[in-house]
Homo-oligomer: A and B are copies of this chain.
Amino acid sequence: MKAYTKYLTICSNKKVEIINITEKVKEAVEASQIKEGLCLVNSMHITSSVFINDEEEGLKKDFINWLEELAPYNFHRWLHNKTGEDNAHAHLKRTIMGREVVIAITKGELDLGPWEEIFYGEFDGLRNKRVLIKIIGE
């Protein structure tokens, strides 16, 4: 069994932003030289997500607007913000979008469906955050 570990550093340009990281994950799979296995991609932070969906600008805006309805910024509503933070909403938004994805590797490639793209979802950005790619297999 082989294992491969890669850390990406991402600094978003906006406080809330959805960033396509599919190519970076493909590069890691190639570098790993693993042909059959599993690829974990996760945010190492608790106010951002890794998820799979569609590369379409309108949908990315829909996600951001929808998350703001389900888990609004609303500073005074959340107890967590009494600690001096203002990012309680980001912890909740990330929970809906998910921390991680696990993707099959088949014949040396990410075994993705035709429209599957991998995204980093940032909900408290404008600073360096890390994403972990861990691949195991043979």
Tell which of B36, B53, B79, B112 touches A62, judged by Cβ atoms closer than 8 Å. Answer: B79
Tell which of B53, B96, B130, B137 touches A136, judged by Cβ atoms closer than 8 Å. Answer: B137
Q: How far is the CA of A59 from the CA of B82 in the complex (A)?
A: 10
- Binary per-residue interface labels of chain A (81-106) against chain B in the complex, 1 for a CB within 8 Å, 0 otherwise: 11100001001100111111111101
Q: How far is the CA of A82 from the CA of B136 in the complex (A)?
A: 40
Given contacts A59-B79, A111-B134, A113-B132, 10 further A-B contacts (CB under 8 A): A1-B1, A3-B37, A42-B103, A46-B115, A56-B80, A58-B81, A59-B80, A61-B79, A63-B92, A102-B102
Using CB atoms and an 8 Å cutoff, list the residues of chain A in contact with chain B: 1, 3, 5, 36-38, 40, 42-46, 51-54, 56-59, 61-63, 66, 70-71, 78-83, 88, 91-92, 95-104, 106, 111-116, 130, 132, 134, 136-138
